[in-house]
Structure 1
Amino acid sequence: MRTKTRLILSVCVASLGFFRPVAAQTPTRTVTLQAVEDSFLVRNYVLLAQRYQIDASKALVRQAKMWNNPSFSTVLGFGSTDKFQPFKVGAEGETQYTIDQLIQLAGKRNKNVQLAATATKMNEATFDELVRTLRLQLRENFYTLYYRRQTGKVLKEQLENLQRIVDAYVTADKKGSVAHSDLVRLQALQVGIENDYADLKQEELEAQKNLQQLLHSQDFYEAVVAPADLAAYRLDHIELSALMDSVAVNRPDVRIAATQYQTAELNYRLQKAMAVPDLHVGATYDKKGSYINNFVGLTLGIDLPLWNRNQGNIRAAQLQIGAGQQQLQQQQSVAQTEVLNAYQRIVTLEKRYKSFDLHQFQNEFDTLISEVAKNFSKGNISLLQFIDYFNSYSDNAKNINKFLSNRVNAYEELNYATGQELFKN
């Protein structure tokens, strides 16, 4: 009886196939990172909306360059208090016409143009910041989807192989040829791996959902990563000091803070200019209301700055300059700190990555598991030992893929921290 059971188990274990990949379910679309990014730039609604904001701010620059429209007024004769004659504008009647043009002094118009141009720069930097943030999310979810699926293939294969062993043990248990406790241990192992697989699928679905939201699509994606795509992730050509110095130019959030500071300075100059009254220049025509008929005159007007000299707005704008300067320094400090930490994280991960060959280690572990399976089928190792090796194999697959995912994401975080595309083939 036990010999027959041993033969059943031998056949099941021999079919474990640790080296044979199991065909995964084919998703709707197979995509590379480049294809996902190309779609993202033309389909993401947030980016499209921000592009409209940029175009709108450019239109406001054009508007700021416009001169104020002249104003026109007229007086139509209505006779006198002695004799009321509505609209008496004929040969014996009175009409008067005045046209007036506002001329802004102290360079107010040019300063408004500069402020509008700065608003455009702000919207452009905001767009770049959106791209930077959303691109990091896109890439992190893309690589998460890829590496979780690689781990899922291993766990799915293990579950299929383990199911064969459990089925054989169930049959043998019914015949009383194996200890029931051994069947319980195998079933507990099966439940544990099923839970791990279910958790992994949840993480995969979360990454799918995030990609769908970023791309505004209902398609399901299978991420494809070639070895050449990962070859660019290295620090050989990177100098930390250069990265730290470049954040003021390349980081959109730093440029936003710098633009806000520049806006505060321009606003201060404008508010000082607003203290200078504007000039009104025009012409007037009076048919019969003056000392002579058909009187023509030049009109000049200016506000008298006796009480309101824009003191409050000037003081507020001056204080905003100080606030903007502090915010700029804060943002530069934050950016440099993020660059330093992202760089150090890569250095730490690279020490582990280069300390041993992960692919060689995986191949050796596959060989080890194959030998374990053979020895278990021959009865050279116990069920508990087999379960221990079985668990170690799944843990190894999860840990390696998680480490590789963390490593790639660390490089992408350095891209994000610097505001540059540092790692391209």
Structure 2
Amino acid sequence: MHLKFVIVLFYSIQLWCMVTGASAYAQGPGNDTLRMNVKDAEKEFLNKNLNLLAQRYNIDIASAQVITARLFPNPDFNFANGIHNDTHDAYRNKSLGLSQLFTTAGKRNKNIQLAKISVDQARYQFFDLIRTLRFTLRSDFYTIYYQQQSAKVYNEEISSLARILVVFKEQYAKGNIAQKEVLRIQSQLYALQTEYNNLIVGIDTTESELKMLIKASPNSYVMPIADHDDVQESVTTKPYKQLLDSAYANRYDLKNAKSIVNYNTVNLALQKATAIPDVSLSLSYDKFGAFNNNYIAGGIEFNLPFFNRNQGGIKQARLAIDQSKVQLQSQQDQLEMDLATTYKGALRLENLYNGFDPQFKHDFTHLIQEVFKNYQKRNIGLLEFLDFYDSYKNNLLQLNALQLSKVTSLEQLNFITGTPFFNQQ
């Protein structure tokens, strides 16, 4: 009679926990809970992320350098007043001088070109930072979502076993059940609590990074709201050639690498122009100091490029061009390799996911109820029942991990191509 009571109570607790346990983890710290979908998170990220705000200043700084490059050199002015001489009152002697430097060989225009390329590079770096941080944001978002789903599975089983353990301890004290059954449930519960704690630590770490990206309060609790259509999306909707072409057209880090080649090419022209002397024209006036009074003279000044013709600067510029071309080719090769590897991986994950029965979770939940009925009738023992329940948990965790891997693989394709092809519902 006592054993039947324990089993019926066990069954009632089990069903109640399966209904209510799933919501236990979702209870956050009240008003600090941030319920958002991925587009809401992106909006917060674009408006509040401090790294983006800081990077924007680099564009303005580079634009200011263009203004500086457009400016002409200032003229030089000199004035001297006599102090002493033997023939005149020294203080009456005054001389004035005015000179202006004129750059030659188009140096000014080349400096303007370099400054403009620097502005482009600042923009490319800004948009590539957005690409990188957006990938981190979206990956963190989906990681938190699916790990929270796994946490609900743990919470369900832990809540169930914790209540069962209390009942079993009471029945053991009355001599109705064996101690080994109490210890087996207690051992299973401790193992689950350890696994659950490790999962929560991982969620907290990822959540901390996400909150930094959207500048959320450290005390807030993020509750992602995901669209289940994301996991249904197929990578085959976009041909590989389209992905590759888009990567070449839209990757800002690749554009930046090309701009470095252009920068070094213009810099080589500037270094060659530097070998040509600049010219300084001058105009001077001397009241009494020359061979006659009120002496006015014009002059020209430039250096003679006998020894220094900027040979080192020209050689460095040529080497920089060769180096930047090699780096560009390496970056293009890496892009193609990353895309090919990620695309094949996404196809494998999609095939694996499509092999799962959509009714798997529902059927397995129903099956475990039937297994419990068999345990109630003593057709199976406690160890066999707990092993089956553990298998139920592991399969749900694997399904969540597979869904996360599939969605993340599509996010990686977005990241590699620099184009939001997938997960945009």
- Does the CA contact (< 8 Å) of 1:40 and 1:215 recur in 2? yes
> What secondary structure does 2:237 align onto?
coil
- The one-letter code matched in structure 2 to 1:267 is N
- Please state if 1:223 is matched with 2:224: yes
- The one-letter code matched in structure 2 to 1:59 is A
Once residues 418 and 39 of structure 2 are traced to their aligned partners in structure 1, the CA distance between those partners, rounded to angstroms, is 18
- Please state if 1:74 is matched with 2:79: yes
Residue 14 of structure 1 is matched in structure 2 by 12
- Does the CA contact (< 8 Å) of 1:247 and 1:332 recur in 2? no
Paired residues for 1:205-224 under 5 Å: 205-217=204-216, 218=218, 219-224=220-225
- Does the CA contact (< 8 Å) of 2:235 and 2:410 recur in 1? no
Once residues 182 and 286 of structure 1 are traced to their aligned partners in structure 2, the CA distance between those partners, rounded to angstroms, is 114
> What secondary structure does 2:296 align onto?
strand
Question: Aligned-residue CA RMSD in angstroms?
Answer: 1.9
Deviations 1:185-208 (A, max 9, x none): 111111121112111111111111
Once residues 62 and 105 of structure 2 are traced to their aligned partners in structure 1, the CA distance between those partners, rounded to angstroms, is 24
Residue 328 of structure 1 is matched in structure 2 by 328
Deviations 1:92-134 (A, max 9, x none): x222222111111111001101111111122112112221221
- Does the CA contact (< 8 Å) of 2:139 and 2:408 recur in 1? yes
Structure 1 residue 316 displacement after superposition? 1.1
- Does the CA contact (< 8 Å) of 1:9 and 1:168 recur in 2? no
Deviations 1:9-50 (A, max 9, x none): 212213312752532313522122112111112222221111
Structure 1 residue 289 displacement after superposition? 3.3
Structure 1 residue 229 displacement after superposition? 5.2
Residue 50 of structure 2 is matched in structure 1 by 45
Residue 351 of structure 2 is matched in structure 1 by 351
- The one-letter code matched in structure 1 to 2:58 is Q
- More deviation in 270-279 or 131-140? 131-140
Structure 1 residue 278 displacement after superposition? 0.6
Structure 2, unaligned runs of 5 or more: none
**Number of residue pairs the alignment of both structures matches:** 415
Once residues 352 and 176 of structure 1 are traced to their aligned partners in structure 2, the CA distance between those partners, rounded to angstroms, is 50
Structure 1 residue 279 displacement after superposition? 1.2
Structure 1, unaligned runs of 5 or more: none
What is the TM-score of this pair, normalised by structure 1? 0.92
> What secondary structure does 1:367 align onto?
helix
Once residues 154 and 228 of structure 1 are traced to their aligned partners in structure 2, the CA distance between those partners, rounded to angstroms, is 22
Residue 25 of structure 1 is matched in structure 2 by 27
- The one-letter code matched in structure 2 to 1:16 is Q
Residue 288 of structure 2 is matched in structure 1 by 288
Structure 1 residue 258 displacement after superposition? 1.5
- More deviation in 378-387 or 148-157? 378-387
> What secondary structure does 2:245 align onto?
helix
- The one-letter code matched in structure 2 to 1:234 is S
Structure 1 residue 78 displacement after superposition? 2.5
Once residues 223 and 310 of structure 2 are traced to their aligned partners in structure 1, the CA distance between those partners, rounded to angstroms, is 62
Structure 1 residue 61 displacement after superposition? 0.8
Once residues 84 and 250 of structure 1 are traced to their aligned partners in structure 2, the CA distance between those partners, rounded to angstroms, is 77
Structure 1 residue 286 displacement after superposition? 2.6
Paired residues for 1:209-358 under 5 Å: 209-217=208-216, 218=218, 219-228=220-229, 230=231, 233-357=233-357
- Does the CA contact (< 8 Å) of 1:13 and 1:165 recur in 2? no
Relative distance call for 1:84 and 1:215 in structure 2 (3 A) is farther
- Does the CA contact (< 8 Å) of 2:231 and 2:403 recur in 1? no
- The one-letter code matched in structure 1 to 2:225 is V
- The one-letter code matched in structure 1 to 2:223 is E
- The one-letter code matched in structure 2 to 1:56 is I
- Does the CA contact (< 8 Å) of 2:246 and 2:419 recur in 1? no
Once residues 111 and 291 of structure 1 are traced to their aligned partners in structure 2, the CA distance between those partners, rounded to angstroms, is 44
- Does the CA contact (< 8 Å) of 1:19 and 1:366 recur in 2? no
